[in-house]
Amino acid sequence: MENQNIQDQINDLNKKMDQVLDYIHEQKQRNEVVEDLAEDLSIVSRDAYKSTVEELDQQGIELDIDEVKMLVFKFMRNIDNISSVIDSFESLNDLIKDAAPILNEVGIDAIKKLHEFEEKGYFEYLNELYKLLGKIHEYYSVEDLRELSQNIDKLFNIMKNLSSPEMLTMAEKTTAQLAHMKPGEEDKKSTFGLLKELNKPDTRQSLAFSLRLLKTMSKELQNGNNQSK
């Protein structure tokens, strides 16, 4: 019985020794692989370094190793900043993806609105307005426009006075009568007929209004001449 226990212990030791030998063999193989890889990488690195040096020499570029080291150190020191920049780009990319449907909808609405403007003739209106500006530029100088801007308050006062209901009604009736009158048409009334017209209240009222208007205009012109002197 005692001999059997000793034999079992010997067998366990042999098994453990075999495991240790297998482990040592595997480690040796791994070391050989690593050494082979390191040797291959060393050859590739030397070739790459040699090719890079030759290429830089052909391009007339002198590479300072110290500057390269400083660049590497700067890169390592700014890894956090570079990471933040990359995160910002990723956030911007996500924002663009989220905003793409909204921008697409806005673009569709803009196209529809432009189509609506075209159907209503707004573009044609703008084209005619552009032609009108061209005519203004052709017939009026910058000095004319400057004088117009200096007297714009007077023009607005004229428009304000003409926009009163009484003036608009009178202008409407006057233009309606002028539209029915033919240019050059002679009134064949006799002297007696003209005198007869003068006796009508409407004729006298029109003459009185005309004389009052002429008198007022003459007075304003005299006042303007006196102020200019």
CA 118 to chain centre: 21
**Mean pLDDT across 72-80:** 82
The residues, any chain, with a CB within 8 Å of residue 197's CB and separated by 6 or more, are 189, 203
Mean pLDDT rounded to a whole number for the chain: 78
The pLDDT score that the predictor gives to residue 152 is 84
Least confident of 3-7, 23-27, 53-57, 187-191: 187-191
The pLDDT score that the predictor gives to residue 63 is 63
**Mean pLDDT across 29-58:** 74
The top-scoring range by mean pLDDT among 33-37, 45-49, 81-85, 211-215 is: 81-85
Hey, where are the domains in the chain?
Answer: 2-94, 141-177
Cα–Cα distance for residue pair 201/189, rounded to 1 Å: 18
Q: Do 56 and 63 touch, CB atoms closer than 8 A? A: yes
Pair of tokens at residue 43? 């050859």
**How many Å is the Cα radius of gyration of the chain?**
52
Least confident of 25-39, 49-63, 70-84, 146-160: 49-63
How far apart, in Å, are the Cα atoms of 88 and each of 91, 95, 100, 139? 5, 10, 18, 57
How far apart, in Å, are the Cα atoms of 114 and each of 104, 105, 124, 138, 201? 15, 14, 13, 31, 60
Q: Do 44 and 52 touch, CB atoms closer than 8 A? A: no
**Mean pLDDT across 117-146:** 86
Q: How confident is the model at residue 215 (pLDDT cuts 50, 70, 90)?
A: confident
| Whole-prediction pTM | 0.33
Cα–Cα distance for residue pair 160/168, rounded to 1 Å: 11
Q: How confident is the model at residue 55 (pLDDT cuts 50, 70, 90)?
A: confident
Cα–Cα distance for residue pair 226/229, rounded to 1 Å: 5
Percent of the chain with pLDDT over 90: 0
129 has a pLDDT exceeding 80 = yes
